[in-house]
Amino acid sequence: MERHLRRLSIIGTLGMMLVLLMGATVTDTGSGEGCGRSWPLCRGTFLPASVRESVIEFSHRAITGVLGIVILLLAIGAVKARHAYPGLLPLVPIMVGALLLQSGMGAWAVKYPQSSAVLALHFGFSLVAVAGVFLVMRVIDDQQNRGQVIRSPAPRHLAIIFWVSAITVYGVAYSGAYIKHANAEDACRTWPLCDGQVWPGFSGNDGVVFAHRLAALGSIALIGGMAWLAHRSRAQRPDLVNLTFLAMLVVVCQAIVGAIVVQTNMQLFSTLLHAGLMAVLFLILCEGCRVTLSERSRADTRKATRSDAPLTSATAD
């Protein structure tokens, strides 16, 4: 049972990452209306016409449908294995709910045109869906590999900065998706300055791109501070040092690729790499949130158990 559950979680994680990149491809190639206003069919037929936009859009729908079956099987298995893996149960509604929201929003956008702010949420829900499946995989791996080893709870300030960093990165991802849907790619055509300006302001498309860059800079600062705090607590939690430095490496690569996206005039490979690195960074931070939260919950439970023990003994006497 556990072996099949782990395989499903791996397939689901890789598959949902593929769905995220395919969704980014749909947006980057302008294929959102490749199937017209028809959903779930493509222009009223099961097989799309041999037009690039139609093939890209329908392939995205088809892969999402297949992954929906995988996620459903994984959710059923997670519910059945909830006693062996108690950490799985809270992830099931996140995993399934995000996938349903992502698919529903995609169908809604096809049938009824939406604003750029709403369309950008599609990428955000994709991130949450990938994270949900990934965390299911990590819970299974963690439970199988750790045995009876109990790690010390992470310092509270380190746990908090993990959550703040994850929320910030999610905001950066949303603003990046908004730039694409708002057709603001032609703004701020130089990097790191915005068309030679240090402070272009927040009006118009230049302001949208400038706000995205400021948010990205803020995420780098947060993750850098998180890595420093983890290094200070390395004796207590050496595993978090590796996690935070991996996040620091990815966010720096993300910034470099962001500059390449500008220099290559939004070339498809660079934009997909940018989206992929954003997803990887978000997954790393979500794993940090999971680990710090679960370990602190276990520590609080053990503390409560110890404090109740003398009271129970006294009552018995």
Using the predicted structure, report yes or no on whether residue 185 has a pLDDT greater than 90.
no
Q: The whole model's pTM is what?
A: 0.88
DSSP, res 191: S
Residues sharing a CB contact under 8 Å with residue 227, sequence separation 6 or more, in sequence order: 241, 244, 245, 247, 248
Quick one: pLDDT at residue 305?
44
Residue 92: band (very low, low, confident or very high) from pLDDT cuts 50, 70, 90: very high
Question: Domain locations in the chain?
Answer: 1-149, 151-302
Residue 188: other Cβ atoms inside 10 A: 24
Amino acid at 154: A
Q: Quick: pLDDT tens for 187-214.
A: 898 888 898 889 998 988 999 999 999 9
Termini Cα distance of the chain: 46
Quick one: pLDDT at residue 295?
59
Cβ atoms 259, 116 nearer than 8 A: no
Q: Quick: pLDDT tens for 231-248.
A: 998 888 888 999 999 999
* CA dist., res. 99 & res. 95, Å (int): 6
Quick one: pLDDT at residue 150?
55
* CA dist., res. 15 & res. 82, Å (int): 23
* CA dist., res. 287 & res. 36, Å (int): 39
* CA dist., res. 119 & res. 97, Å (int): 17
Amino acid at 198: V
- Tell me the catalytic residues: 57
115-149 burial, b if ≥16 CB within 10 A, otherwise e?
Answer: eeeebbbbbbbbbbbbbbbbbbbbbbebbeeeeee
Quick one: pLDDT at residue 134?
96
Using the predicted structure, report yes or no on whether residue 221 has a pLDDT greater than 80.
yes
Q: What is the mean pLDDT of residues 148-169?
A: 84
Q: Quick: pLDDT tens for 66-86.
A: 999 999 999 999 999 888 888
Using the predicted structure, report yes or no on whether residue 132 has a pLDDT greater than 60.
yes
